[in-house]
């Protein structure tokens, strides 16, 4: 165990956690919503520091990040637990594990040094904190990120965006990229995720303000968040932050508790992409439907095909030094 960051001690051995927007009030002996931060005798501890349940080498496109070192690999890690209760979670076996298994924590014991060494040894240009919500293992991610930063390895969060401004400001100097889910409107968040939408929007804005490269993903679920109004609201919010933020509109497939809806029709993704462009976004991508054409990068100025993809693979990359080779326009992203 490691003493947690971002909390205050209160009377009667209670603590208030300020790591995520839930701001859990935790009594002695109890845990927060994430199930991996516990109040022990009036001190808040992370139960998952260095307890890694998943380690893989992934293409960066899988995160998905399309404007961040395309074609590179990212050393990807996760711990058990999550501060959301998404009914459609594709990694529910590990994200909800402590909640389902009476608080049990499991995972391989590792150090920040071993994670950074593994990333370097395997030729990975970045480390991704992913699969579950990286906020819940913030202390370990923070130590890894600082060390990776010193070694010239970039750091990526794949996040639900529920990190508080305090935590965001601490990690941002060491965080190079962040794909943040913007799942729907406030009703969707309350009903499906057990959260609220406004903190997510604030994180997107703050991450961008602090210089972190941001891409946004919306998993489109039939009859839940697929109306034109819902999609336009998301697109217009992203545009208000920065029209150059890439938006990934992604196909849902039935999983976990949300089994009553079919896969998202490709025509719905196609319409979502159109709505993104109509709203003024420069880059909109279709996800989970390889070969349909919506995963390629085109110059926002002259429409030249720059990066051709199939799934997570780069078929062709015509960019040079972050610019369009046809018209010379700068393409926003992290390319080196």
| Distance of alpha carbon 102 from alpha carbon 265, whole angstroms | 38
**pLDDT surpassing 90 at residue 69:** yes
Which helix (H) or strand (E) is 268 found in, with range?
Answer: helix 266-278
Can you read off the two tokens belonging to residue 167?
């935590």
**pLDDT surpassing 90 at residue 321:** yes
**Cα angle, residue 297 at apex, residues 291 and 303 outer, rounded to 5°:** 115
Task: Taking residues 96-118, report their average pLDDT.
Answer: 96
Q: What is the pLDDT of residues 263-273, one digit of tens each?
A: 999 999 999 99
Q: What is the pLDDT of residues 275-315, one digit of tens each?
A: 999 999 999 999 999 998 899 999 999 999 999 999 999 99
Q: What is the mean pLDDT of the chain?
A: 97
**pLDDT surpassing 90 at residue 168:** yes
CB 149 within 8 A of CB 174: yes
pTM of the model: 0.97
Can you read off the two tokens belonging to residue 260?
């009553």
| Distance of alpha carbon 55 from alpha carbon 274, whole angstroms | 36
Could you tell me which residues are beta bridge partners of residue 293?
Answer: none
Output the pLDDT for position 75: 98
Percent of the chain with pLDDT over 90: 99
Output the pLDDT for position 18: 98
CB 324 within 8 A of CB 304: yes
Instruction: Name the class of domain 51-317.
Output: alpha beta
Output the pLDDT for position 1: 87
Output the pLDDT for position 67: 98
Give residue limits of the domains in the chain.
2-46, 51-317
Output the pLDDT for position 183: 98
Q: Three-state SS string across 83-111, please?
A: CCCCCCCCCHHHHCHHHHCCCCCCCEECC
Q: What is the pLDDT of residues 174-204, one digit of tens each?
A: 999 999 999 999 999 999 999 999 999 999 9
Output the pLDDT for position 76: 98
């Amino acid at each position: 165990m490691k003493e947690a960051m971002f909390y205050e001690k209160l009377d009667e051995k209670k603590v208030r956690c300020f790591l995520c927007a839930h701001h859990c009030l935790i009594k002695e002996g109890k845990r927060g919503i994430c199930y991996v931060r516990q109040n022990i005798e009036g001190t808040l501890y992370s139960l998952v520091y260095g307890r890694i349940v998943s380690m893989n080498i992934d293409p960066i496109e899988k995160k998905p990040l399309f404007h961040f070192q395309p074609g590179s690999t990212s050393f990807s890690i996760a711990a058990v637990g999550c501060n959301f209760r998404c009914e459609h979670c594709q990694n529910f076996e590990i994200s909800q594990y402590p909640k389902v298994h009476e608080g049990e924590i499991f995972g391989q014991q590792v150090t920040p040094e071993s994670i950074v060494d593994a990333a370097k040894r395997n030729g990975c240009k970045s480390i991704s904190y992913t699969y579950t919500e990286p906020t819940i293992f913030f202390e370990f991610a923070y130590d890894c990120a600082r060390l990776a930063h010193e070694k010239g390895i970039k750091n990526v969060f794949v996040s639900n965006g529920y990190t508080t401004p305090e935590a965001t400001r601490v990690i941002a100097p060491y965080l190079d990229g962040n794909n943040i889910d913007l799942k729907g409107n406030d009703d969707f968040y309350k009903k499906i995720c057990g959260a609220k939408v406004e903190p997510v929007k604030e994180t997107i804005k703050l991450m961008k303000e602090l210089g972190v490269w941001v891409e946004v993903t919306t998993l489109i679920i039939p009859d839940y968040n697929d109306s034109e109004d819902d999609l336009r609201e998301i697109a217009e919010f992203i545009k208000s932050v920065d029209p150059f933020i890439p938006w990934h509109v992604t196909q849902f497939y039935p999983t976990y508790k949300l089994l009553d809806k079919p896969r998202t029709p490709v025509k719905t993704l196609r319409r979502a992409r159109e709505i993104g462009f109509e709203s003024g976004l420069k880059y909109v991508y279709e996800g989970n439907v390889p070969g349909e054409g919506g995963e390629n990068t085109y110059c926002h100025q002259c429409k030249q095909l720059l990066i051709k993809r199939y799934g997570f693979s780069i078929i062709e990359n015509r960019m040079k030094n972050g610019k369009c080779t046809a018209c010379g326009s700068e393409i926003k992203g992290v390319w080196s």
